[in-house]
């Protein structure tokens, strides 16, 4: 059931065009591609290779001599006889590859994926590649791409100022999750609020979209088969992700468990784990690098501020995994389909609500005019939450780029269409709340925003109020 045809290549057009421009240059050059697992690096590289008649090579955890044999076999598909020789080291293999390419007037691209695996088995490979890129590959006019999922190791090899290959990449691409605006076309969704719900489960990871695509708009059917069912391919996905990291990161699971269970401050995590707070700095930093968590500070505070900083699960899929699987593992082991449906019905609304709130904040800088009858004072700076002690909290706070207008917003999730009285009640509550004491013009204009997925049409809003719905957010996220 899960041997799927590859999902249609979507999005990534900007990244693909950069790679195509590089491979179209006569002088060749180096590209570096990295990003967390499941984000679609391999698919992008294979699409590029397919269009440009490239050569895709991938590292693994074998011994260097075995890896060279595997690579030689693959290279022989393009250059006959390449695997008839044993290569004693990496330099000899790459040097011959450059000679063969030059003689055949073939410019590449040569793509080496999962580079961190090669570097772990052969630490000298970074220096070998540096000399090869600077000399043989350059002489042959080759286009070369290096890729990997381990951000720390990619930095150590290519991106950090002290790295052997630093400064040599003509194209450096960090792939991020695909925006939710592409979900309707992938799953055939007719309403944009359905895209919010799908994003709450799968996030922007193409691999999860690919697995869920055959279920179409039936979100629960996909969740049940892929996540809730102990035999589903994603039931143990978080453990798999941590083991596939390089180096493997199963020790980070306990911190993710704490965050997933609601401990968002390092002091709370340390208390639950019975560890010193100072021992959490490095694992939290690695989880941030992996894109599994994010660090959140109230609007108006410096990113470096640590007083009120909270750590949250960043990836919607990881949140859904903790909500649906981790906290119900025992009951799911022998659960009937009816019990699995009960678990879903009990927690799904909370998943949708938290994802909707985050998507609303993310969309603020890209929102168009909030309503035909409101003069939009944007563009807006990135939005954040606001909280401090016993003061009223705000779901969305931003400021216009010129600093003259403050945006204050509240987010409400509902699958049904909110009526005009319900929407106006939201604005009434907002306008009675005290303005947060953040820096800025004390008499500056305040624009109030209510973020609701669906609402009745033709609502007459109070002055300086705007209404943002799922259509607005999905449109903004597709840009």
Domain ranges of the chain: 13-174, 181-359, 369-477
Give me the mean pLDDT over the 196-200 stretch: 96
pLDDT score, position 397: 94
Per the CB < 8 A criterion, the answer to whether 176 and 35 are in contact is yes
Paired tokens of 213: 């695509």
DSSP bridge partners of 390: none
> Could you read off the pLDDT of 426-471 as tens digits, one per residue?
999 999 999 888 766 545 788 999 999 999 999 999 988 999 999 9
Q: Which CATH class is domain 369-477?
A: alpha beta
Note the CATH architecture for domain 13-174. Answer: 3-Layer(aba) Sandwich (3.40)
DSSP 458-474: T--PPTTEEEE-HHHHH
Give me the mean pLDDT over the 91-101 stretch: 94
Question: Residue 20: is its pLDDT beyond 50?
Answer: yes
- Radius of gyration (C-alpha) of the chain in whole angstroms: 25
pLDDT score, position 436: 87
Residue 137 and residue 132: Cα distance in Å, rounded?
6
Residue 205 and residue 212: Cα distance in Å, rounded?
11
Per the CB < 8 A criterion, the answer to whether 95 and 129 are in contact is no
Asked if 181-359 and 369-477 have one fold, the answer is: no
Q: Which of 161, 186, 133, 146 is nearest to 59 (CA)?
A: 146
Paired tokens of 149: 């999922």
Per the CB < 8 A criterion, the answer to whether 376 and 370 are in contact is yes
For 140-218, list the strands marked E by DSSP. Answer: 143-148, 169-174
Q: Which of 175, 227, 231, 223 is nearest to 198 (CA)?
A: 223
Q: What residue has token string 């960043």?
A: 314
Q: Is 439 left (phi over 0), alpha (psi -120 to 50) or beta?
A: beta
Eight-class DSSP state of 11: S
Residue 387 and residue 350: Cα distance in Å, rounded?
20
Which is more confidently placed, 343 or 307?
343
pLDDT score, position 7: 53
Question: Residue 393: is its pLDDT beyond 50?
Answer: yes
Residue 150 and residue 398: Cα distance in Å, rounded?
33
Residue 430 and residue 76: Cα distance in Å, rounded?
67
- Residue 265: CB atoms within 10 Å: 16
For 298-372, list the strands marked E by DSSP. Answer: 310-313
Burial of 3 (0-12, 13-18, 19+ CB in 10 A): exposed
Q: What residue has token string 């021992």?
A: 279
pLDDT score, position 390: 84
Give me the mean pLDDT over the 472-478 stretch: 85
pLDDT score, position 3: 36
> Could you read off the pLDDT of 249-281 as tens digits, one per residue?
788 899 999 998 889 999 999 999 999 999 998
Question: Residue 376: is its pLDDT beyond 60?
Answer: no
pLDDT score, position 10: 64
For 103-181, list the strands marked E by DSSP. Answer: 110-113, 143-148, 169-174
Question: Residue 78: is its pLDDT beyond 90?
Answer: yes
Per the CB < 8 A criterion, the answer to whether 37 and 240 are in contact is no
For 258-331, list the strands marked E by DSSP. Answer: 293-296, 310-313
- Residue 433: CB atoms within 10 Å: 14
Residue 73 and residue 70: Cα distance in Å, rounded?
5
Q: Note the CATH number of domain 181-359.
A: 1.10.10.10
**Residue 237 — very low, low, confident or very high, per pLDDT cuts 50/70/90?**
very high
Indicate the pairing of strand 310-313 with strand 384-386: unpaired
Paired tokens of 431: 């306008």
Query: What is the percent of the chain with per-residue pLDDT over 70, rounded to a whole number?
Result: 93
Residue 74 and residue 232: Cα distance in Å, rounded?
33
pLDDT score, position 36: 83
> Could you read off the pLDDT of 21-53 as tens digits, one per residue?
988 877 889 999 988 888 889 889 999 999 999
Paired tokens of 362: 């993310």
pTM: 0.87
**Residue 161 — very low, low, confident or very high, per pLDDT cuts 50/70/90?**
confident
Q: What is the mean pLDDT of the chain?
A: 88
DSSP 188-253: T-SSHHHHHHHHHHHTT-HHHHHHHGGGTT-HHHHHIIIIISTTSTTTTHHHHHHHHSSS--GGGH
Burial of 360 (0-12, 13-18, 19+ CB in 10 A): buried
- Residues 6+ positions from 97 with CB-CB distance below 8 Å: 75, 79, 82, 110
> Could you read off the pLDDT of 113-123 as tens digits, one per residue?
988 888 888 88
**Residue 1 — very low, low, confident or very high, per pLDDT cuts 50/70/90?**
very low
Question: Residue 374: is its pLDDT beyond 70?
Answer: no
Residue 148 and residue 143: Cα distance in Å, rounded?
17
Q: What residue has token string 């772990």?
A: 120
Q: Which of 326, 317, 25 is nearest to 180 (CA)?
A: 317
């Amino acid at each position: 059931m899960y041997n799927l045809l590859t999902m249609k290549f979507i999005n990534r057009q900007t990244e693909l065009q950069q790679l195509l421009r590089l491979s179209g240059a006569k002088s060749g050059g180096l590209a570096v591609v990295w990003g967390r697992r499941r984000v679609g690096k391999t698919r992008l590289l294979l699409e590029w290779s397919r269009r440009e008649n490239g050569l895709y090579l991938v590292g693994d955890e074998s011994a260097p001599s075995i890896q060279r044999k595997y690579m030689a076999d693959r290279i022989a598909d393009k250059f006959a006889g390449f695997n008839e020789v044993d290569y004693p080291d990496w330099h000899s293999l790459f040097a011959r590859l450059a000679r063969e390419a030059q003689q055949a007037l073939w410019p590449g691209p040569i793509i080496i994926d999962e580079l961190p695996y090669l570097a772990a088995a052969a630490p000298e490979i970074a220096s070998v590649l540096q000399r090869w890129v600077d000399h043989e590959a350059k002489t042959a006019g080759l286009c070369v791409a290096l890729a990997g999922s381990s951000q720390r190791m990619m930095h150590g090899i290519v991106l950090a100022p002290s790295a052997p290959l630093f400064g040599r990449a003509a194209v450096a691409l960090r792939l991020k999750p695909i925006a939710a605006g592409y979900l309707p076309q992938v799953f055939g969704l007719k309403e944009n609020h359905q895209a919010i719900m799908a994003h709450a489960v799968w996030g922007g990871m193409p691999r999860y979209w690919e697995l869920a695509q055959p279920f179409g708009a039936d979100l629960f059917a996909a969740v049940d088969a892929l996540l809730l069912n102990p035999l589903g391919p994603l039931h143990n996905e978080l453990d798999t992700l941590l083991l596939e990291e390089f180096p493997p990161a199963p020790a980070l699971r306990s911190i993710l468990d704490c965050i997933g269970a609601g401990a968002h401050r390092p002091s709370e995590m340390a208390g639950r784990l019975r560890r010193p707070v100072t021992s959490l700095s490095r694992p939290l930093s690695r989880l941030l690098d992996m894109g599994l968590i994010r660090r959140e500070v109230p609007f108006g505070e410096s990113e470096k501020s640590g007083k009120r900083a909270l750590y949250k699960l960043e990836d919607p899929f990881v949140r859904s995994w903790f909500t649906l699987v981790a906290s119900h593992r025992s009951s799911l082991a022998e659960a009937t389909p009816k019990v699995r449906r009960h678990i879903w019905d009990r927690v799904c609304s909370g998943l949708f609500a938290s994802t909707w709130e985050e998507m609303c904040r993310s969309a603020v800088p890209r929102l168009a005019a909030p309503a035909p009858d409101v003069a939009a004072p944007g563009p807006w700076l990135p939005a954040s939450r606001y909280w401090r002690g016993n003061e009223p909290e705000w779901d969305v706070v931003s400021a216009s780029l010129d600093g003259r207008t403050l945006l204050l917003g509240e987010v409400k999730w509902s699958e049904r269409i909110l009526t005009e009285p319900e929407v106006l009640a939201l604005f009434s509550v907002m306008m009675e709340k005290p303005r947060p004491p953040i820096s800025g013009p004390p008499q500056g204009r305040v624009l109030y925003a209510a973020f609701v997925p669906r609402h009745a049409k033709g609502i007459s809003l109070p002055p300086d109020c705007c209404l943002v719905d799922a259509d607005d957010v999905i449109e903004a996220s597709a840009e």
